[in-house]
Amino acid sequence: MRGRIWYPQLDVYDTVRRIGLLLSVWQERPPSIERLLIADFYFANPPLIHKTSMPETVREYFRELRIPRPEKTFLSYPAAPILFHKMEPIQKKALQALLGKRVISSSDMRRGMAKLSDFGRSFIDETLSSASTLLERELVVFLTTSFAVIGPDDISELRRRTGLRRGVQ
């Protein structure tokens, strides 16, 4: 029998789940698509957050989550920009699926923003919220309230601190 390792970063269904969970918390000020995809990247690869630059208050909050450093995990991670690039087609498919199922608002997507539709909000609350662990929920709150909101008016600050960049979808 052959064993296979499952990589959530390369699974469209898990990407749909992660994006849905992120957007369920990110309701007040919807993120740009690029900001959402960077947050999803770190949601799928939390040990890589250690390798980013962030303000000290955000770093303290991150330490409280007790996420292991990349070198202390079972997996070996490539450079973040390489993995982010590899995740691009999967993230695009996930966004297309969410848009096609009307979970994400199409009018907001046309403006470059990601926001759950009314249907999407109820779907995520009923279906996905209970399918997440406590650590995932804590990580989602950290990403959406402290980390991915760095440089709220200009994404270049988040790009600089993470080394990640994604063109317009």
**What percent of the chain is predicted at pLDDT more than 70?**
95
Answer for the pair 9, 32: CB distance below 8 angstroms, yes or no: no
Task: Give residue-wise pLDDT tens across range 20-34.
Answer: 999 999 977 899 999
Mean pLDDT, the chain, whole residue set: 90
Query: What DSSP character marks residue 53?
Result: -
Name the least confident of 48-62, 82-96, 110-124, 155-169: 155-169
d(CA 134, CA 73): 19
Residue 21 near residue 121 (C-beta atoms within 8 A): no
